[in-house]
Amino acid sequence: MSHPIVGILLAAGSGRRFGSDKLSHRLLDGTPMAVAAAVRLLPVCERVVAVLRPGRDQLAAALKAVGCDIVFCPEAEGGMGHSLAAGVSASAEAAGWIVALADMPFIASSSHAAVAAALQAGASLAATQYQGRRGHPVGFARAWQNQLTGLTGDQGGKTLLEQHRQRLTLCPVDDPGVVRDIDYPRDLIDVASGTSPRE
């Protein structure tokens, strides 16, 4: 690939179910959740674009400090599709994209690398798989650029994966983090206690 694979960290969610500022919530080691997710993604990509809603200047500064480029998406309130479109539009030179969620801070860098390797080997779409469950991150080859930049509302990358399952390369990993998203404070308790990720 003549151009790099770019990581896109979707960090524009409101976290209403969490009950507080989820993405800035500090994990046990003191790292804000979104920053922890970024740190796992950054070693795999030459560039990581973090997409935030306007007004999140403190979180933006923290993500920029660890090496992310920042994109503010005024339409983020309208759904994840807008955020993903903004991230892809801001990295139009990419050979492909690895899309990660800022509320999934426990994905191992090796799992991100597995998706990157699949794209580099020619996969059109790629995603991790843990114990039979499709997980994150997900990867998109450059051929999907127009579809990604055209996303709106809650129509995110998941829609494209479901519509084109026959083109999806699954990357089995031994990493429960790929299916462990943090929606509620109890989800962090589950991690600390070693409880299996919820279905």
Average pLDDT (21-30) is: 89
Report pLDDT for 1. Answer: 47
CA trace torsion 159, 165, 168, 173 (10° rounding): 90
Residue 70 sits in a domain whose CATH number is 3.90.550.10
Chain mean position to CA 192? 22
Count of structural domains, the chain: 1
Domain residue limits at 122: 5-193
Q: Is residue 85 part of a domain?
A: yes
pLDDT single digits (tens) 68-114: 999 999 998 888 899 999 999 999 999 999 999 999 999 999 999 99
Q: Is residue 28 part of a domain?
A: yes
pTM for the full model? 0.92
pLDDT single digits (tens) 110-152: 999 999 999 999 999 999 999 999 999 999 999 999 999 999 8
Q: Is residue 24 part of a domain?
A: yes
Instruction: Map tokens 């179910």 to a residue.
Output: 17
Strands of the sheet containing 133-141, edge to edge, are: 69-72, 47-52, 5-10, 96-101, 133-141, 125-130, 168-172
Report pLDDT for 190. Answer: 63
Q: Is residue 175 part of a domain?
A: yes
Q: Is residue 19 part of a domain?
A: yes
Q: Is residue 199 part of a domain?
A: no
Report pLDDT for 2. Answer: 53
